Amino acid sequence: MKAIVFTKYGTPDVLELREVDKPVPKDDEVLIKVHAVSINDWDWGALQGIPFINRLLFGLLKPKKKILGSDIAGRIEAVGKNVEQFQSGDEVFGDLSGEWGGFAEYVCARENALALKPASMTFDEAAAIPQAAMLAVQGLRDKGQIQPGQKLLINGAGGGVGTFAVQIAKLYGVEVTGVDSSGKLDMLRSMGFDQVIDYTQEDFTKNGQCYDLILDVKTNRSIFDYTRALSPNGSYVTVGGSMARLFQFLFLGPLISLISKKKIRIVALKPNKDLAYLNELFEAGKVKPVIDGPYKLSEVPKAFRHFGEGRHKGKVVITLEQNKRLENVLSLVEI
Ligand SMILES: NC(=O)c1ccc[n+]([C@@H]2O[C@H](COP(=O)([O-])OP(=O)(O)OC[C@H]3O[C@@H](n4cnc5c(N)ncnc54)[C@H](OP(=O)(O)O)[C@@H]3O)[C@@H](O)[C@H]2O)c1
């Protein structure tokens, strides 16, 4: 099968399209024909081996897992003998982080990493959902305990998490401000953000505004800047960003909660936990993934460059559907 392989850490130039062995499912796994896969910030970090924790997970000097890609959607082609929930032909999607292997024509996965894809959801849409939407739900609802009537600010609003978070937040009847770079502000307005702030022009922690809830995907400021921008009972929730900052938040967050009514929380992703909830929202027309692309499998290095430059809007998706369409055309030609 074809796959995008990396054998050393580096820029997207180290990603190569190669012919590799098709994986074989273990007894508790299914084999999936991948139809779409999306890029996450974690893929980007793993590609470079930065921050260092990625070297601990992937290999100190060179990557042991050679195919990245966690958020996949596809059709089950074979099932291991202990698999109970799925059968061949099922259309599924999920976050395979820990196992990886999504930038390929086939991947194996354990059944607890997968959910059935609704028939009305395309494979591209399904591949955009798992990690970013789970972070948005778990950040707003579980850690942020979002309430109707609140003022919410999303820092890093135009990427994967932010574009899901605004749609989920609007279901609670909150006023949402989005912070991102100038090129993304029109998209944010069109998605329903009530206010937008260009971070290259304005520092939202110094403009005198206060928010009941801040959801942060960048965590690029000091904890004191963020607490200044919180209302007296406000909550700050980070889903990720600078490791040094996150350690600061881990140690100082509880102290701030002790001396004030402000809360500082860090999301530890529970992969796939809320996929059924996202399916419900999607089928009710309440959430729709924002897709940048789709790119072809051979274009994965280009898609990574686009992602790394921060030019993407929503989720960067790679589709393998074109291969299928090409196969169909070729079979018609043979007939
Ligand atoms: N907690 C966990 O267990 C866990 C698990 C997986 C991932 N994560 C984290 O989840 C996050 C993924 O977020 P995502 O998928 O939404 O990422 P993303 O798609 O890269 O979006 C980030 C957005 O932030 C914008 N941005 C860049 N610099 C900014 C700044 N200084 N101020 C405001 N916005 C800025 C980017 O646009 P421009 O570049 O154009 O500015 C981009 O639109 C990452 O932080 C990752 O580490 C956490």
Chunk the chain into consecutive blocks of 10 residues (it has 335) and report each block's average pLDDT, rounded to whole numbers: 98 98 98 98 96 92 97 98 98 96 98 97 98 98 98 98 98 98 98 98 96 97 96 97 90 94 96 98 98 98 98 97 57 54
Whether 161 lines ligand 1, by a CB cut-off of 6 Å, is yes
CA–centroid distance, residue 329 to ligand 1 (Å) = 39
Q: Is the dihedral of CA 323, 326, 332, 335 positive or negative?
A: negative
Q: How far apart are CA 137 and CA 122, in angstroms?
A: 21
Whether 242 lines ligand 1, by a CB cut-off of 6 Å, is no
pTM strictly above 0.85: yes
**Per the structure block, which two tokens stand in for 237?**
């929730």
Instruction: Indicate which residue's Cα is closest to atom 7 of ligand 1.
Output: 42
Residue 243, pLDDT score: 87
Whether 95 lines ligand 1, by a CB cut-off of 6 Å, is no
Determine if residue 294 is left, alpha or beta; phi over 0 gives left, psi from -120 to 50 gives alpha, anything else beta: beta
Q: Are 2 and 17 in contact (CB under 8 A)?
A: yes
Residue 303, pLDDT score: 98
Whether 205 lines ligand 1, by a CB cut-off of 6 Å, is no
The reply to whether omega before 51 is within 30° of 0 (cis) is: yes
The 8-class DSSP code of residue 182 comes to G
Q: How many CA atoms lie within 13 A of 6 on its CB side?
A: 30
Q: Are 265 and 102 in contact (CB under 8 A)?
A: no
User: For helices 130-137 and 160-170, what crossing angle results, to 10°?
Assistant: 50
Residue 242, pLDDT score: 87
Whether 269 lines ligand 1, by a CB cut-off of 6 Å, is yes
CA–centroid distance, residue 263 to ligand 1 (Å) = 21
Residue 328, pLDDT score: 55
Determine if residue 261 is left, alpha or beta; phi over 0 gives left, psi from -120 to 50 gives alpha, anything else beta: alpha
